[in-house]
Amino acid sequence: MVVISHDRRFLETLCRAVIWLEQGKTQRLDANFSHFETWRDEQIELAERAAHKLDRQIAREEDWMRYGVTARRKRNVRRVAELADLRAKRRDIASRQRGSLNMVANEADNTSKIVIAADHISWAFPDRTLINDLSLKITRGDRLGLCGANGTGKTTLLRLMTGQLTPQQGEVRLSPSLKMVTLDQQRTALEGNRTVVDVLTNGQGEIVEVGTERRHVMGYMKDFLFRPEQARTPVSHLSGGERGRLALACALARPSNLLVLDEPTNDLDLETLDLLQDMLADYAGTVLLVSHDRDFLDRLTSSILVAEGDGQWIDYAGGYSDMLAQRKGNAPKERRISEGTTSESTSSKPRSVSSKPAAKLSYKEQLELKELPDTMEKLGKDVAVCRKALSDPELYSRDPARFEKVTALLQEVEQRLTDSEERWLELETKRLELEE
């Protein structure tokens, strides 16, 4: 299986080797993608050291050319040729160095604590309901991620919360000091017949308004890794990643206290993703983010709003992994009860209870709760041993039977670990509820 992706979580789950393609050169890492970033940084450092060493060698040879030429013609010709080779090698290294991306958001003041307040909003199509009676408050500095399956209404909800759509029911109130910048999924601000300079300057010459600062377009292009010769390139000729960087360059030039990002990670390479993440982490304003990139959501968001179906949305504290852990606890069970189809479950009367709940966990449950952490630790070590064995790229060709055996064992142990974690979470939640 060969996979091309910028989704780090997806690659970490699947791959046992990585090929890094950088400026026309390929290098191979025979390990899981979780080791890639550390390895890549080491390769970059080695290349920088080699370039520095080459620079010193060229300087010595140039010094010899100026002051050390003698009458020994053959030796002189050879050293001149060697110097030319060194310079060619240095040009090759320089051509592969991308430069550094300089990504900074221009921030505007916001005097309001409540940025967006949605009161009982709803939106539906004739054949399905996307949002049903949702109330939500977003405060200054929040980082809210929206996730769910395609077609569940993430973009529609984003447009409702930012005032681009009027809800069919309910009301959305926006802060009067709100200054919003939107990076939409379709990159609609980019028109195919316009050049890079025209997009950045909005057709107003060669000066870009970056907040309150006026900058020459060539310098601003360089911050986003565009070459000077790309200034007059039509947008339609740019790659997907270049179009993504151009959209970011346009969005971040405008002052804002609310960034609305609809799938901002589409087509961005890993280095740009890291820099975008660092910029958003330092951003003092509020961020609304729609993304399918689980790793990006985990690293950035303070809460996740999830489409649960039939227009229901639930807000979970934390990142994507925290949301998954909470959904394995009480949330799914509560939804199943509330969505029951019997007349009793739909009745407005409270459900009768035949007996009082236990005041504490049973002895068997207490013992199980006490033993589960040790069990999970042991299973985690077993998982690590299996994964280490499978990280050997030659295992399958050398011993297919062992490869199949270890793979089956890994699946079994991972399932047991998942079951143990879910059971521990269930018992711990029950214990906390009984103690309240």
The confidence score (pLDDT) of residue 206 equals 81
Identify the pLDDT of residue 144: 92
Give the pLDDT of residue 93.
56
Tens digits of per-residue pLDDT, 111-135? 678 889 999 999 998 888 999 999 9
Helix (H, G, I), strand (E, B) or coil at 265: coil
Distance CA(433)–CA(427), nearest Å, equals 10
**Residue 133, pLDDT score:** 92
How far, CA to CA in Å, does 346 sit from each of 134, 319, 353?
Answer: 20, 33, 16
Label residue 133 exposed, middle or buried (CB < 10 Å: 0-12, 13-18, 19+): middle
Amino acid at 33: F
Supply 109's token pair. 């003041």
Domain extent listing, the chain: 8-96, 114-324, 363-435
CB atoms inside a 10 Å sphere around CB 167? 19
CATH homologous superfamily of 114-324: P-loop containing nucleotide triphosphate hydrolases (3.40.50.300)
| The model's pTM | 0.55
pLDDT given for residue 111 in this prediction: 64
The sign of the CA dihedral 261, 265, 267, 269 is positive
With contact defined as beta carbons under 8 Å apart, do 172 and 120 qualify? no
- Beta-bridged to residue 181, according to DSSP, are 259
Which pLDDT score, from 0 to 100, does residue 335 have?
Answer: 37
HSE at residue 428, side-chain half, CA atoms within 13 A, is 14
Q: What is the pLDDT of residue 436?
A: 59
Length of the chain measured in residues? 436
Residue 37 CA neighbour count, 13 Å, CB half: 11
Place of tokens 């979470």: 425
Task: Locate the DSSP E strands across 175-285.
Answer: 180-183, 207-210, 213-216, 258-262
Q: E strands of 296-359, at which residues? A: 303-309, 312-317
Query: Rounded distance, CA 160 to CA 171, Å?
Result: 9
C-alpha–C-alpha distance, residues 388 and 318, integer Å: 30
DSSP bridge partners of 144: 288, 303
* Residue spans of the chain under pLDDT 70: 58, 60-108, 110-111, 184-189, 191-192, 211-212, 267, 328-360, 435-436
Of the candidate CATH numbers 3.40.640.10, 1.10.287.380, 3.30.565.10, 1.10.3720.10, the domain formed by 363-435 belongs to 1.10.287.380
Burial class of residue 334 (count of CB atoms within 10 Å of its CB; 0-12, 13-18, 19+): exposed
